[in-house]
Amino acid sequence: MQNSEINFGRVLKAGFIAAFIGVGLNNIWSLIAGVLGATIPPAFAIAVTISSLLPVVVASLVYFVLARYLAKGPLIFTVLGVGFLLFSFFPIFNNPQLPDGTVMDDTFPLLVAPMHVFSGVLALYGIPKWSR
């Protein structure tokens, strides 16, 4: 079954809107978390920007495919998205170092957990809402 009402351009635009809002919120949060005492790694703003942008844009492409070709595509997108969001917390609380080997202190969850929530919620809410 194909849903021809779903427009690729609108879905991609919704993904970029959600992603750029997430970039702004996450960079603002990193400033707030720094004031609250979180240790900010070097060049963190670049990592935050890329990590806030790419997954949400990819999620918009996944949403397009699911919503276009599956009758319950938006529901499947929501279930998968919630699963990915919950799974994204595992390394935050269970891995004491970054992929480059930098050992993080106890303030790391304060720094990045809200960022995962911001981007995840924006993707789950914004992409379906703003692509209509």
- Single out the residue of 63, 42, 53 nearest to residue 18, CA to CA: 53
**126, 14 in Cβ contact below 8 A?**
yes
Span 58-84, average pLDDT? 97
The model's pLDDT over 4-40, given as tens digits with 9 standing for 90+, comes to 789 999 999 999 999 999 999 999 999 999 999 999 9
- Single out the residue of 56, 62, 67, 75 nearest to residue 123, CA to CA: 56
Q: What pTM does this model have?
A: 0.92
Residue 97 φ then ψ, to 5°: -140, 155
Residue 76 clears pLDDT 90, i.e. is over it = yes
Is 123 inside any structural domain? yes
Q: What are the tokens at 73?
A: 């595509």
Q: What is the C-alpha to C-alpha distance for residues 17 and 53, in angstroms, rounded to an integer?
A: 10
Structural domain count of the chain = 1
Is 2 inside any structural domain? no
For residue 117, count CB atoms less than 10 angstroms from its CB and return exposed for 0-12, middle for 13-18, buried for 19 or more. middle
Length of the chain (residues): 132
> Can you give the residue range of the structural domain that contains 52?
8-130
Q: What is the C-alpha to C-alpha distance for residues 109 and 106, in angstroms, rounded to an integer?
A: 7
